[in-house]
Amino acid sequence: MAGQLDGRLALVTGSSKGIGAATAVELAKAGAHVILTGRDVRALETVEDRIHDVGGASTIAPVDLEESDGIARLASAVAGRWDKLDYLIISAAYLPTLTPVTQIDGKQFSRAVTVNLLATQALLANFDPLLKRADAGRVIGLTSSVGDNARAYWSAYGSTMAAFDNLLESYGSEVEKIGNVRVAIVDPGATRTAMRAKAYPGEDPQTVKPPEVVGERLVELLVNDFPVGHRERIES
């Protein structure tokens, strides 16, 4: 897919590691200029090195999604340099400790609500003008099956992902008839990430797919485009 996204600008949240990092590299391989966001500057620099190694281009834009004005400042900085945003990939998420509903840690739950839900609304609100200036602005949100299907001990995370899905679907319905912005929700399925290892500490990581598989699929969706209201799960 080299060169098929030439001239496109993509912003990937959570691009310092895991699926976000893999997606950023795949986007760069396809020709997009990628804005790398996350809290760990050193990790972002490592991803940028990987992008440069494949001949791609990127810009590091550190941001803490838990900061109330961090996303607004990020959007202002992007708008000051570019006149549009073609792709917004929402990959960052926080997984609280798995626990019964009655024992949810309040601080962890609050952080999950902030990162998984409030930050998503702020991203959509602040980048909406730039997405609408693109000829075909696209938003892809990475979700989890526990948002659709309640599972014991996953309630703190699952409830925020259910709200995440609703927020993205609502935004997609609002913009589809007034412009060229479309929204897709993708469940990456079992993937070899730090979050997966936290949830399944006894699992052999070699038994699940690497994040590059997800990154490749997301780029494929953007290259071939997806229909209004698209939703899928990546099995392998």
Question: pLDDT digit string (tens) for 138-183?
Answer: 999 999 999 999 999 999 999 999 999 999 999 999 999 899 999 9
Q: What is the pLDDT of residues 68-85, one digit of tens each?
A: 799 999 999 999 999 999
3-state secondary structure labels for all residues of the chain: CCCCCCCCEEEECCCCCHHHHHHHHHHHHCCCEEEECCCCHHHHHHHHHHHHHCCCEEEECCCCCCCCCHHHHHHHHHHHHCCCCCEEEECCCCCCCCCCHHHCCHHHHHHHHHHHHHHHHHHHHHHHHHHHHCCCCEEEEECCHHHCCCCCCCHHHHHHHHHHHHHHHHHHHHHCCCCCCEEEEEECCCECCHHHHHHCCCCCHHHCECHHHHHHHHHHHHHHCCCCCCEEECCC
Residues marked active site are found at: 157
Topology adopted by domain 9-229:
Rossmann fold (3.40.50)
What residue segments make up the domains of the chain, in order of their start?
A: 9-229
Query: What are the two backbone dihedrals, phi and then psi, of residue 26, each rounded to the nearest 5 degrees?
Result: -65, -40
Q: Give me 117's structure tokens.
A: 């839900």
Q: What is the pLDDT of residues 22-50, one digit of tens each?
A: 999 999 999 999 999 999 999 999 999 99
pLDDT band at residue 95 using 50, 70 and 90 as cut-offs:
very high
- Provide the pLDDT confidence category of residue 3 given band limits of 50, 70 and 90: confident
CA proximity to 57, closest of 48, 65, 66: 48
Region 190-212 average pLDDT: 93
Average pLDDT in the chain:
96
Confidence of residue 1 (pLDDT cuts 50, 70, 90): low
Question: Given this model, what pLDDT does residue 236 score?
Answer: 75
pLDDT for the residue 46? 97
Mean pLDDT over 224-236 rounds to 93
pLDDT tens, position by position, 107-149: 999 999 999 999 999 999 999 999 999 999 999 999 999 999 9
Task: Classify residue 78 by burial, with Cβ atoms within 10 Å: 0-12, 13-18, 19+.
Answer: buried
* Res. 2: pLDDT tops 80: no
Q: For the chain, give the longest Cα–Cα distance.
A: 51
Block residue for tokens 């696209």:
138
Q: What is the mean pLDDT of residues 6-24?
A: 97
Percent of the chain with pLDDT over 90: 96
Give the pLDDT of residue 68.
79
